[in-house]
A and B are shown apart, each in its own frame.
Chain A
Amino acid sequence: MSVLAIVSAAAAAAEEVHGAAESAGLPQLDPAWWPSQIFWLVITFGALYFFMSSKALPAIGGAIEERRDRIADDLDQASDFKRNAEEAEAAYNQALADARAKAGAIAADKRAEVEAEIAKMQAQTDAVLEKDLAAAEARIAEMKAEASSKVREAAADAARAVVETLIDEAPTKDAVDRAITTVANS
């Protein structure tokens, strides 16, 4: 039903179009109005062309160009800054490495110096200690010898006293010595 209505309406409209075209013809094909249309086309199009080519387009193109130049300049400047920063960083790293190397060298020197001093002091101390030790040993030997001669003497006195008590006759010093020596060696 609705489709039919639309179709009939369309048919009516089409008939109207047909009728109008038959009665008046297409307005586009009426040559009477062609000169006027072309005249005003030339006026408006010509004015617009003049306006665009002399004013609007140079202004817009100039602004675009200027912006492009400015952006290129800024990019150049930015890359300059970046290069400078990179150079500064390299210099800093170089200085840091130098300082580190220098510090290391100083530390090594000092260590060697200190070690040499320690070695020297140790050698001195060792020498002193050795001398003391030798002296001590000499004294010990001396004291030992002294002590043993005193023990012999005491033994000889004791032996003479014992013999004197036993046989009431004092033996000679030589005989006692010989006897002690014999006992000590046996």
Chain B
Amino acid sequence: MLKFRAADPLEQFEIIPIVDLHLGSIDISLTNSAFWMLLGTGAIIVFFLLATRRAGLIPSRLQSVAEVFYEFVFDLVRDSIGSEGRKFFPYVFTLFIWILISNLFGLLPTLPIIPHEYHTFTPTSHIAVTFALAILTISIVIVYGFWKNGLRFLRIVAPKGLPLWLMPILVPIEIISFLARPFTLAVRLFANMFAGHILLKLFAGFIISLLATQSFMSAMAIIPAFGVIAITMLEILVAVLQAYVFAVLTCIYLSDAEHPDHH
């Protein structure tokens, strides 16, 4: 008699191959994750192509939106790194917009008729993706830091004006906190996306379970339905916020590489 079946909340994170591809022995298949990365990136590129098609003195609507993004990230980079931060601006901008669209597209609803492998998927809900992005940021910090400052870059673990007797305690702490950066950066984004989507699925599952009782209890399904609406709004906020947090922390770490003495 059970007409409804609540889906497994982890099913949404499953990777489903669409086109099998191999590079030597490495599996680089085009999956649902890759599909949503391509979709998001494609959407961003189309948007910015349209926005800058006739970039002019008097901006079109799309150009105004693009300029808002531009100035938002530009101010962020300039305020945290300074005028030397200009060279990092395209990187931080790409990072911010890529994560933002990945997070937001992950909240799009899926229609029942859509084949399983094209169901809405959030690339940033996978630790492999967020960790790769974090490693990219930290690699830029380390490479640029040593290239710009030489060994003086090591100052970031030994702040200036520190009493000598504090060094043995503080330097290991600073080293550990520096080494923890890629992990915290990766896990923060991944865990937020993961937890949000689990929560959404759980509340949606309650609706199905309550409807499945097919008694007066079915009316109770309205309660988790409101919950789903509220959590969806919260998740939109979290999606934007986490993209912003990732960009802000990237700027702060890049600022360390630019000015290791002002740590």
Contacts and interface: CB of A to CB of B under 8 A. Distances in A.
Contacts of A39: 23, 26, 28, 34
B190 A28 contact: yes
Interface residues of B, number: 67
A164 B33 CA distance: 178
Given A17-B9, A27-B13, A52-B48, A44 B70 contact: no
Contacts of A70: 57
A9 B223 CA distance: 12
Interface string B125-137: 1111100110010
Mostly, the A contact residues are helix
A21 interface: yes
B118 to A, nearest CB: 15
A39 B29 CA distance: 9
Contacts of B49: 56
Contacts of B13: 26-28
Contacts of B224: 6
Most chain B CB within a 10 A radius of its CB, from A14, A17, A41: A41
Interface in B52-99: 52, 55-57, 59, 63, 66-67, 70-71, 74, 89-91, 93-94, 97-98
22 contacts: A6-B210, A13-B6, A13-B9, A14-B202, A17-B8, A20-B8, A28-B13, A28-B128, A36-B33, A37-B34, A37-B123, A37-B129, A39-B26, A40-B31, A40-B34, A44-B40, A45-B136, A48-B45, A56-B51, A56-B66, A57-B93, A63-B59
Given A5-B217, A9-B209, A27-B13, 18 more contacts: A6-B206, A6-B224, A20-B8, A26-B13, A27-B126, A35-B28, A36-B34, A37-B33, A40-B34, A48-B44, A48-B45, A49-B91, A52-B48, A56-B49, A56-B51, A63-B59, A63-B67, A70-B57
